[in-house]
Amino acid sequence: MSRSGVPTRAERVYAELRADILAGRREPADRLPFADLSARYGASMGVVREALTRLAAEGLVESEPQYGFRVMPISAEDLRHLTEARRAIEPLVLRLAIEQGGLTWESGLVAAHHRLERTPPLDADDPERVSEDWAAAHAEFHRALLAGCPNPRLRGVAASLRDAAELYRRWAVSLGSDPHRDIPGEHRAMLAAALAHDAEAAAEVLSAHIQHTTDVLLTHASATRHPDGESGGDTARARAGDAARTS
């Protein structure tokens, strides 16, 4: 921010490009030529470079020697490995939370779910993008779900894996589409099973919840891998509206 409290040009370009990436308007693996970005965001190449450097530090874009920058691609192998690790760890931590969490844990979980249910999932000013308030409420619900586990090491591993999946998770909303999926219903099912102390049912719902997001992204990645090199952005943006109605 400038001293007047108005965002600087560099901050504005960074925020707009970041929003475009998270909304899927800049698709995974899309090239980010300096000239195109300068024209699109009305900024000098130096300002654009500063924005891209910040986004690279966040893991949203990557720099390729001699090619410049591109949006971080979806790595099917990394996504499968990450999903395998999450499905091994998070249900285990949830079982321990249900077995050993007390009334304080249950109260915190109910409060976190109430906040999630009452928070609109998409940004009112940018309906192709996940709302930052919803993303925070979603993260807090999943944190609260596992908070009853008495082992801080396991909770830490689970939190680290969830953080690593954040970009994939957002892309699953903006790029994916599954008209039969009911994400709020999945969260309600997790809550109900946890409060009923049905550890196996809760773990099963959580595992399926994690896998479903991965399946949506892998389907998208396969569908947009065209031989002519086009990214299929228009199709993805059309699907974003469908995803929004089921999130």
Kindly report the three-state secondary structure assignment for every residue of the chain.
Answer: CCCCCCCCHHHHHHHHHHHHHHCCCCCCCCECCHHHHHHHHCCCHHHHHHHHHHHHHCCCEEEECCCEEEECCCCHHHHHHHHHHHHHHHHHHHHHHHHHCCHHHHHHHHHHHHHHHCCCCEECCEEEEECHHHHHHHHHHHHHHHCCCCCHHHHHHHHHHHHHCHHHHHHHHHCCCCCCCCHHHHHHHHHHHHHCCCHHHHHHHHHHHHHHHHHHHHHHHHHCCCCCCCCCHHHHHHHHHHHHHHC
Distance in Å from the first CA to the final CA of the chain: 33
| 128 within 8 A of 237, measured Cβ to Cβ | yes
Q: According to the model, what pLDDT value does residue 130 have?
A: 82
Q: Do residues 161 and 90 lie in contact, with contact meaning Cβ atoms separated by under 8 Å?
A: yes
CATH topology of domain 9-71: Arc Repressor Mutant, subunit A (1.10.10)
Q: For 155-179, what is each residue's pLDDT tens digit?
A: 999 999 998 888 888 887 767 667 7
Q: Average pLDDT of 17-30?
A: 87
pLDDT of residue 131: 86
Share of the chain above pLDDT 90, in %: 58
68 — alpha (psi -120 to 50), left (phi > 0) or beta? Answer: left
Q: Average pLDDT in the 37-41 region?
A: 95
Q: Which amino acid is at 167?
A: L
Can you give the pTM of this predicted structure?
0.74
Q: Which of 40-49, 136-145, 206-215, 226-235 has the lowest mean pLDDT?
A: 226-235
- Amino acid in the structure at residue 232: G
Residue 228 has pLDDT above 70, yes or no: no
Q: What is the pLDDT of residue 238?
A: 35
- What residues form DSSP beta bridges with 62? 70
What is the reported pLDDT for 169?
83
Delimit the domains of the chain by residue range: 9-71, 76-246
C-alpha span between 128 and 245 (Å, rounded): 11
Lowest mean pLDDT among 21-25, 120-124, 205-209: 21-25
Burial zone of 2 (CB within 10 Å; 0-12 exposed, 13-18 middle, 19+ buried): exposed
**CATH code linked to domain 76-246:** 1.20.120.530
Q: Same topology for domains 9-71 and 76-246, yes or no?
A: no
| 123 DSSP β-pair partners | 126
Is the dihedral angle over the CA atoms 127, 51, 139, 216 positive or is it negative? positive
Please identify which residue in the block is written with the tokens 């994400």: 183
